[in-house]
Structure 1
Amino acid sequence: MDINSFEYLLTLVAPKIRRRDTHMRKSISPGERLALTLRFLATGESYSSLQYLYRVPCQTIGKIVIETCEAIVEVLADYMKVPKTQSEWKEIAIEFDQKWNFLHCLGALDGKHINIRPPPSSGSYYYNYKQRFSIVFLALVDANYKFLYVDIGCNGRVSDGGVFRESSLSSAFQNNTLDVPPLEVLPGCTTPIPYIIVADEAFPLKDYIQKPYRQTGLTTERRIYNYRLSRARRVVENAFGILANHFRVLMTAINLAPEKVETLTLTCCLLHNYLRCHTEAYTPPGSLDTEHLLSHAVQPGKWRSEPKSLTNLKKQGSNHSKETAKLYREYMKDYLNSSVGSVPWQNNMI
């Protein structure tokens, strides 16, 4: 975060975190409160460690961090919004087509586990398949690595299908309350298909979700489809990677109540979007995955060389796909292998 981004953020949150001086002592300034909170989010240091750096007691730090995070969530709320009109959704789809050559894409979906210290008497409620305690962080990301939607807080033992099924995003798509554009015909085709979000094998195949074909018995056409879809879906992997490597509190087993961990994670997401909009210092060249100009081979971003922190959701179990969802995937596969929808390098990537 550069100084200008910090100062602008401070002007937004200062009225909400400023405290009055008393006859006994001066209050901790808004600037120091914000700096302390950002330090905690960026490093994941314990309150005990921070008290020596800022000369503030642990108990006070605990209050400052949560209060400041709540203020950041309030003032930066506009930096993360689910589109509400067809034109807004189409802008996202156009960007996915221009940057990642995947039509009708409304976002990339993925979920991760955030490790926590289990609350007292919680038993195995937060115990996940990786034999750790966690809450689930589900996110939809646009073509510019910014979060459009997050769902944080489901306990880590819930299956992958259950996490998405219980999310408000799934409910909104099923009830058609997002004003998503109607079915449209792809260029050179005759059958209309829906606008979709792309995901990996951890999610069910639905009319509005496309995921790769299984790795067994793949034809050339299906391999190309899997490559093109994974190329578009890579934005959510990069978003998670950059988020965790800049906000290293997410790389620890956070020793706070789950509801406070939700607040911290949401704050990190909003700060991520804020910094993506305001400064290039947040994601300098080389930090994100890139492609070679000629070969289009993936050149991994620097975040991939860092220790892994956010673990994937468990792969899909017994989620049953509708026949229409399978047909839409076949139509998209045929389009991506056609003369209209193909890209020159795709056969070299499989």
Structure 2
Amino acid sequence: MMPCIRDALLLSHGDGFLGVDDCMLLYEIYKPKNPNMCYRKYDKFSIHKFSDDECKNNFRFYRNDIYHLRDVMQLPLEVTCYNGVQVDGIEALCIFLMRFAYPCRFADLVPTFGRPIPQLCMITNEVINFTYERWGHLLSSLNQPWLSPSNLQIFADAVHSQGAPLANCWGFIDGTVRPVTRPGKNQRVLYNGHKRVHAIKFQSIAAPNGLIANLYGPVEGKRHDSAMLAMSGILNQMQQYSMNPEGDILCVYGDPAYPLRPHLQAPYKGAGLTADQLAWNKSMSSVRVAVEWVFGDVVNYFKFVDFKKNLKVHLSAVGKMYVCSALIHNARTCLYQSTTSTYFQLDPPALDEYFFDNE
């Protein structure tokens, strides 16, 4: 539409001269749509200007814990973007945390950090890429120190002590649907008929200490949970790592969508269930709700990933955003615990133990 208007204006003036009204029309058409934020009038960022409560509200961590998080994540002291822009590691981490703490625009970050919008965008993407590439394996592999056989047995004992009939269940598996903006193409691929939204899906295993032990995805929103299970290959990992110190099999528990396997249990299915089977299902369901609490914590503390109008599959790394939010959620749980860890009376690992470099 705009090139047509421009061509019509140019052709209507054979001598190539445009009047004032024509120039103003062209200016209105082609002027930048983003507001011109005068970032120079704001002071440069300093985390020491914020109290502990302000840091907790804006960045989801206390001030000293932000320094601790930067160190254990091995974020460089100076983060360099692809165009050469350099920023202090603490400031880069705070930009990332504040961006994801609530559904804000980059323009909303300008007064806090005193930087232009393009720099804020590049710095955020740099931290996302670093976190995903450096620590993404913490959510893709069960071969982690805090998931040792002795700890898995402790998890199973905690789940059993809360009334679960299964004595060897150390975690809960489930799929989560993350709504996104309706894409311009491949709409049927992303459409989830059950939730009636365009979405991407993830498969998570939640441990009773409040951490996400495994996260697979993203996959297309139309995928069934059983399909994600096969695609993830998590059962192969569990055959290798899901056991107690004596070598006995430990399992995770899922909803009726999952098949029965030695390392994967599900409720009794069918219409003619006995009273004992119904009671068994109810007891397991009462403790399985913990996995929903973990999903809720991720989107409650990092609300940006729950604002679908800003999650555009073909324009931003939506999958990376959720994975990084899950990693930072685990870090936050290590420091401050969570509803799930309190319910099962289990302490999560220390932050240094979680971000252990075993590669």
Q: Superposition RMSD on alpha carbons, in Å?
A: 3.5
Distance change (3 Å), C-alpha of 1:2 and 1:165: same
Spell out, residue by residue over 1:16-75, the C-alpha distance to the aligned partner (whole angstroms, 9 max, x if none).
Answer: 75239x9xx984332222111101111122334334553433333322212112223455
Cα distance in 1 between the residues matched to 2:243 and 2:75:
40
Q: Choose from 224, 235, 243 the match for 1:181.
A: 243
Cα distance in 2 between the residues matched to 1:18 and 1:289:
34
User: Which residue number corresponds to residue 131 of structure 2?
Assistant: 72
Cα distance in 1 between the residues matched to 2:136 and 2:127:
14
Offset at residue 278 of structure 1 (A): 2.2
Offset at residue 215 of structure 1 (A): 7.1
Q: Which has the larger radius of gyration?
A: 2
User: Which residue number corresponds to residue 169 of structure 2?
Assistant: 105
Cα distance in 2 between the residues matched to 1:28 and 1:19:
7
- Superposed, which structure 2 residues align to 1:292-307 within 5 Å? none
> Which residue identity is paired with 1:152?
G
User: Which residue number corresponds to residue 45 of structure 2?
Assistant: none
Offset at residue 214 of structure 1 (A): 3.5
- Superposed, which structure 2 residues align to 1:73-152 within 5 Å? 73-74=132-133, 76=135, 80=139, 81-83=141-143, 88-101=148-161, 102-129=166-193, 130-152=195-217
User: Which residue number corresponds to residue 60 of structure 1?
Assistant: 119
Offset at residue 261 of structure 1 (A): 1.5
Higher relative contact order at CA 8 Å, sep ≥6: structure 1 or structure 2?
1
User: Which residue number corresponds to residue 40 of structure 2?
Assistant: none
Distance change (3 Å), C-alpha of 1:148 and 1:245: same
Spell out, residue by residue over 1:216-272, the C-alpha distance to the aligned partner (whole angstroms, 9 max, x if none).
Answer: 443221122113322342221111111111111121114343671121111111112
Distance change (3 Å), C-alpha of 1:46 and 1:217: farther
- The SS at the match of 2:68 is helix
TM (norm. structure 2) is: 0.65
Contact 2:180/2:199 (<8 A) preserved: yes
Spell out, residue by residue over 1:156-199, the C-alpha distance to the aligned partner (whole angstroms, 9 max, x if none).
Answer: 011222122211314545xx4x24439x99xxxxxxx9432101
Spell out, residue by residue over 1:257-311, the C-alpha distance to the aligned partner (whole angstroms, 9 max, x if none).
Answer: 367112111111111221222235xx3xxx55977xxxxxxxxxxxxxxxxxxxx
Contact 1:128/1:134 (<8 A) preserved: yes
- The SS at the match of 1:138 is strand
Distance change (3 Å), C-alpha of 1:19 and 1:290: closer
Distance change (3 Å), C-alpha of 1:16 and 1:75: farther
Offset at residue 95 of structure 1 (A): 2.1
Q: Does residue 1:45 correspond to 2:45, yes or no?
A: no
Contact 1:139/1:151 (<8 A) preserved: yes
Cα distance in 2 between the residues matched to 1:60 and 1:120:
28
Offset at residue 126 of structure 1 (A): 0.9
Cα distance in 1 between the residues matched to 2:76 and 2:216:
28
> Which residue identity is paired with 1:82?
L
Cα distance in 2 between the residues matched to 1:17 and 1:140:
35
Q: Choose from 319, 333, 350 the match for 1:276.
A: 333
Q: Choose from 73, 79, 86 the match for 1:18.
A: 79
User: Which residue number corresponds to residue 251 of structure 1?
Assistant: 306
- The SS at the match of 1:144 is coil
Cα distance in 1 between the residues matched to 2:342 and 2:333:
17
Distance change (3 Å), C-alpha of 1:238 and 1:123: closer
Spell out, residue by residue over 1:318-341, the C-alpha distance to the aligned partner (whole angstroms, 9 max, x if none).
Answer: xxxxxxxxxxxxxxxxxxxxxxxx
Spell out, residue by residue over 1:67-120, the C-alpha distance to the aligned partner (whole angstroms, 9 max, x if none).
Answer: 1122234555576551479x9235213322234434111321011111122444
- The SS at the match of 1:207 is coil
Greater percentage in helix: 2
Distance change (3 Å), C-alpha of 1:156 and 1:170: farther
User: Which residue number corresponds to residue 300 of structure 1?
Assistant: none
- Give the number of equivalent residue pairs: 274
Distance change (3 Å), C-alpha of 1:55 and 1:168: farther
User: Which residue number corresponds to residue 309 of structure 1?
Assistant: none
Contact 1:198/1:232 (<8 A) preserved: no
Q: Choose from 253, 256, 265 the match for 1:210.
A: 265
Contact 1:100/1:232 (<8 A) preserved: no
- The SS at the match of 1:205 is coil
Cα distance in 2 between the residues matched to 1:44 and 1:180:
38
> Which residue identity is paired with 2:333?
R
State the identity as a percent.
Answer: 20
* Greater shift in the superposed pair: 232-241 or 33-42: 232-241
Cα distance in 1 between the residues matched to 2:133 and 2:185:
32
* Greater shift in the superposed pair: 271-280 or 147-156: 271-280
Gaps of 5+ in 1: 186-192, 292-350
Cα distance in 2 between the residues matched to 1:92 and 1:219:
31
